[in-house]
Amino acid sequence: NAGVTQTPKFRILKIGQSMTLQCTQDMNHNYMYWYRQDPGMGLKLIYYSVGAGITDKGEVPNGYNVSRSTTEDFPLRLELAAPSQTSVYFCASREEGTTDTQYFGPGTRLTVL
């Protein structure tokens, strides 16, 4: 199993541009999560999904959108990039019914200039 994979690893955007951060997991996990980590800070939950077709807001959802059309994929969309969205983005997944162990991807480092 590859686990949780994220693309791209790095990206630089101009203000107002849009992009999609990709996240895929091959563990057949129902639960998937998107976090952002600002420099020197902890993880803040952006959106999460408990299964295909179901998504819900986390702590900091403004400026982002998600979709979950398949169990494997959970893309995160930035429509109008702003400097405040400069961060490292982590995707995570876990199996329904397990005791909360989330498996993280390697992250996408995004800079908005």
Partner 1 sequence: GQQLNQSPQSMFIQEGEDVSMNCTSSSIFNTWLWYKQDPGEGPVLLIALYKAGELTSNGRLTAQFGITRKDSFLNISASIPSDVGIYFCAGQTQGAQKLVFGQGTRLTINP
Name which of residues 29 to 88 contact partner 1 (CB under 8 A).
31, 33, 35, 40-45, 48, 50, 56, 58-59
Q: What is the torsion angle, in degrees rounded to the nearest 10, for the CA atoms of residue 11, residue 108, residue 36 and residue 71?
A: 120
Reduced to 3 states (helix: H, G, I; strand: E, B; else coil), residue 93 is strand
Beta bridge partners of 25: 4
Q: Decide if residue 24 touches partner 1 (CB under 8 A).
A: no
Task: Indicate the DSSP class of residue 22.
Answer: E
Total of chain residues touching partner 1, rule CB under 8 A: 26
Site residues (vs partner 1, CB under 8 A): 4, 31, 33, 35, 40-45, 48, 50, 56, 58-59, 90, 92, 99-107
